[in-house]
Amino acid sequence: MADNLSAGPGVTVIGADCSFKGEATFEGSMKVEGKFEGKIQSKGKLSVGKAAQVSADVTAGQVHLEGSFKGNLSAMERIELAASAHVHGDIRAPKLVVAEGATFVGNCHVSPDALKAGAQGSEFVVPMAATPIKK
Amino acid sequence: MAQESARHRILCPRCDAPQEVSRQAKSVLCPSCHRNIATADLEIDEYCARIEVFTAGRLRVGKKGTLIAEVRAEEIQVKGEIKGPVRSRGLVALEKGARLFGSLACPRLRVAEGAQLVGSVAAGPGAAELLAGTGAPPEAGPGRAAG
């Protein structure tokens, strides 16, 4: 997946000075550089830029995160968290790539049958809580 | 080239008490909780089921390794499988083909494509701040059912 979607035809861009509240659906690709609050649903590619702040429930084909994200994230193909990504919420996808330096707090279900399990209504299984990290 | 110091500082995996130990020591006694601390690096390349695997060194689970235990180590590299809560003070690296089922807490996480991860995660340099902001552990997330 291309790391950065360039603003070409078929790419929806929410610019750095733009704030969006609501529900978004798209066919091709979408790049968020500003603020987004609400819901995103697509089979395409979603890219969240470094300075972006997204608070949403997202269902997409592929997701590339570099900025701040809060909410539940579900991808049909893969999710990529860059080193600058901050994610607070649940992740569900068949493939996940996390770069060293990314922050992720939440439940994670990454396995080939992750979406099948989600469709059947099975919830996240957390066997035991790890002891919190002491600084 | 500077010679590596013969002693190094470790933290007890149970009580976090610091102490200086020889690099050649395989295990020491914690001065605070008086429990035995393994200081050697561990390598698991077979099926291994224990209550806990705690080490002040590094842990490596090989491709053929299956570790079922509560795990605490300085750094963890997984190519095989871990089932159980995992905590590290350093990097947790899930390589291609790795499987981790259980909660994970670490300051640095790297996940390669093809790794499986199922459970609650608190990873990254900003994880403590995010947790402090909510005041709740990650297992209380919106996607989790009661029970």
| B141, part of any domain | no
CA closest to B16 among chain A residues: A134
| A6, part of any domain | no
| B140, part of any domain | no
A100 inside 8 A of chain B by CB: yes
Q: Which two tokens stand for residue B111?
A: 């996940």
The residue ranges of DSSP E strands in chain B, in sequence order, are: 7-11, 18-22, 27-29, 36-38, 42-44, 47-54, 58-61, 66-73, 75-78, 81-83, 86-88, 91-94, 99-101, 104-106, 108-111, 116-123
| B130, part of any domain | yes
- Reduced to 3 DSSP states, what percent helix, strand and coil does chain B have, rounded to the nearest 5? 5, 50, 45
State whether B48 and B31 are in the same domain. no
| B144, part of any domain | no
| B147, part of any domain | no
State whether B81 and B23 are in the same domain. no
| B14, part of any domain | yes
B117 inside 8 A of chain A by CB: yes
| B98, part of any domain | yes
State whether B126 and B55 are in the same domain. yes
| A128, part of any domain | no
Per-residue confidence (pLDDT) for residue A114, from 0 to 100 = 82
**In angstroms, what separates the C-alpha of A112 from chain B's closest C-alpha?**
8
Report the DSSP pairing between strands B86-88 and B104-106: parallel
Amino acid at B64: K
| A110, part of any domain | yes
Quick: pLDDT tens for A21-43.
999 999 899 999 999 999 999 99
State whether B52 and B124 are in the same domain. yes
State whether B61 and B88 are in the same domain. yes
Quick: pLDDT tens for B2-31.
556 789 899 999 998 999 999 899 999 999
Q: Print the domain residue range for A77.
A: 11-119
Nearest CB to B144; choose among A88, A124, A133: A124
State whether B16 and B83 are in the same domain. no
Q: Is B131 helix (H, G, I), strand (E, B) or coil?
A: helix
- Average pLDDT of chain B is 86
Q: Which two tokens stand for residue A22?
A: 């609501």
State whether B95 and B128 are in the same domain. yes
Q: What single DSSP character describes residue B38?
A: E
% of chain B beyond a pLDDT of 90: 75
ipTM of the complex: 0.82
CA closest to B122 among chain A residues: A105
Cβ pair B70, B55 in contact under 8 A: no
d(CA A44, CA A27): 6
Only one residue has tokens 């459970």, namely B119
Q: Print the domain residue range for B20.
A: 8-38
d(CA B56, CA B41): 8
Burial B51-86 (b: 16+ CB within 10 A, else e): eebbbbbbbbbeeebbbbbbbbbbbbbbbbbbbbbb
| B117, part of any domain | yes
Nearest CB to B123; choose among A89, A97, A103: A103
Burial B20-49 (b: 16+ CB within 10 A, else e): eeeeeeeebebeeeeeebbbeebebeeebe
State whether B47 and B61 are in the same domain. yes
Taking CB atoms and an 8 Å cutoff, what residues of chain A touch B103? 126-130
d(CA A114, CA A61): 14
State whether B99 and B111 are in the same domain. yes
Quick: pLDDT tens for B48-98.
999 999 999 999 999 999 999 999 999 999 999 999 999 999 999 999 999
